[in-house]
Amino acid sequence: MDTVINNVLQAFVVYNGIIGMSATLILALIILGLVKTVKKSVKEITQPYVVLYLTKLQTDESVNYLVLENFGQRAALNIAVDINPELEIEYPKGSPFSLFIEHRISVLAPAQRIMTALPPGDYMEKRYDCIITYQDDKKELYTRKQILDFSYLKRLLFAPSPQNRIAKNLEKISQYLEQQ
């Protein structure tokens, strides 16, 4: 009887060790997975996040502004913006000019933005596929794809201010004089 009890106790000790080691291994794997997830989250939170968007200023609602802004926590370096089809702006007519997006931008600090005014034009009728590429200070490359679709602007109502009415009337006079 004593041998049976000793055999049972020895089997329990052997299996108890295996169960303990298995539990420790499983716990270590779970902790390793959590550490990787936390590292990835910290990296995503602190990376640069560059976006291209369209806005209007409250002081002048007659002009659209194309904005390139870094919403991230780190500086974005060597920023290049590729827009397809090409965003063509001619103002005044027959005199195309180069937007900031046609050049490589060396640095855009966190919360910094670059704006350019967009005069009225046929670009409002198109949809643009944009690819923004940039690096962080550790030379890691980021590529962000987005779509610019300005057609929604035609359906927005803005409160007419006296400055807007003057600007719109001057634009109409200018278009009339160009036709003459």
Give per-residue pLDDT as tens, 50-92: 999 888 776 666 677 889 999 999 999 999 998 888 776 766 6
| Residues 66, 115: Cα–Cα separation, whole Å | 6
Domains and CATH numbers, the chain: 50-158 (2.60.40)
Q: Which two tokens stand for residue 54?
A: 């369209």
The alpha carbon torsion through 97, 150, 117, 58 (nearest 10 deg) reads 170
| Residues 125, 113: Cα–Cα separation, whole Å | 25
pLDDT of amino acid 95 = 67
Q: Phi, psi (5° rounding) for residue 62?
A: -85, -10
- Rank 9-13, 26-30, 98-102 by mean pLDDT and report only the highest: 26-30
Q: Does the pTM exceed 0.75? A: no
| Residues 17, 140: Cα–Cα separation, whole Å | 46
